[in-house]
Amino acid sequence: MEIDVKADFSKKEGQPIRPSPDELEKYLNEWNSLENYVQQENSLKKLFTNTYPLNDNIDDVLIKVCSLNDFYSTNIFSPFTVARHIVKLNIDEKIEQDNWNVVNEIAYVTMKGNKQKNFYSFATKYCSHHKPTSFPIYDSFVEKMLMHFKNADKFYDFNKADLKQYPKYREILLKFRDFYRIEEYDLKQIDKYLWQAGKIYFPKQYVK
């Protein structure tokens, strides 16, 4: 589900502004003004943490997979296959214990024809909606922002492939937070900032 930021934010040009508390506050206030997205997140929070908090029942997991796929357009073309995969992994204890490896376990799914798919961004969203401040979300806009500031300020030594290994990805975000002295913000708030800024400064280019 694509959400546009307001016009005054979309007028920015050039390079992203260096992260700071003031910069984060601007984007967090912007996030809170996006009524449809806030309501979407509230609905998913209720679904994941109240209605179906566990992942041992195919019916419950399938509803969560379909909801995430619809809201985020994660291109899960066989939700049942993904839901069945998640149930077989017995992920509840891993999520509860903050086992970061569970994200990559969820991401790699054997589809029809024995084809392996890596639904990494979806897997980060799935875990994040169970524990938002523990499991930050990955997507292409966040990736572009992190790579930009890595090149601009050398805040941490990593490469793009590291972002697809979830324990390392989370470590990179923590180093990012420490380097720019924005420790008062949790990883969910930093995710909101990076996603919105990434949409502005690194918009997707669609082929006409």
Residue 116's SS3 state is: strand
Structure tokens at 187: 């990883």
pLDDT digits (tens, 9 = 90+) for 100-112: 999 999 999 999 8
Instruction: Evaluate whether residue 3 is within a structural domain.
Output: no
Same domain? For 154 and 188 the reply is yes
CA angle (98, 103, 109) in 5-degree steps: 150
Instruction: Evaluate whether residue 196 is within a structural domain.
Output: yes
Same domain? For 59 and 22 the reply is no
Same domain? For 44 and 113 the reply is yes
pLDDT in the model for residue 1: 35
For helices 187-201 and 140-153, what crossing angle results, to 10°? Answer: 90
Who wins on pLDDT, 198 or 207?
198
Instruction: Evaluate whether residue 10 is within a structural domain.
Output: no
Q: Which of 156, 147, 208 is nearest to 138 (CA)?
A: 147
| Domain boundaries, position 110 | 39-126
What pTM was computed for the model?
Answer: 0.91
Last residue of a domain, one of 126, 144, 164: 126
Same domain? For 95 and 164 the reply is no
Who wins on pLDDT, 174 or 14?
174
- Report the distance separating Cα 98 and Cα 67, nearest Å: 23
Q: Strand 108-111 and strand 115-118: pairing?
A: antiparallel
- For residues 132 and 152, is the Cβ–Cβ distance under 8 A? no
Distances, alpha carbon 8 to alpha carbons 4, 98, 142, 197, in Å: 11, 38, 21, 13
Who wins on pLDDT, 155 or 205?
155
Last residue of a domain, one of 86, 101, 126: 126
Instruction: Evaluate whether residue 152 is within a structural domain.
Output: yes
Number of structural domains the chain divides into:
2
User: Residues of the chain with pLDDT > 70: what percent?
Assistant: 92
Q: What is the mean pLDDT of residues 26-44?
A: 93
- Report the distance separating Cα 124 and Cα 128, nearest Å: 6
Average pLDDT, the chain: 92
Q: Which of 128, 176, 170 is nearest to 152 (CA)?
A: 176
Last residue of a domain, one of 109, 126, 143: 126
pLDDT in the model for residue 12: 52
Instruction: Evaluate whether residue 54 is within a structural domain.
Output: yes
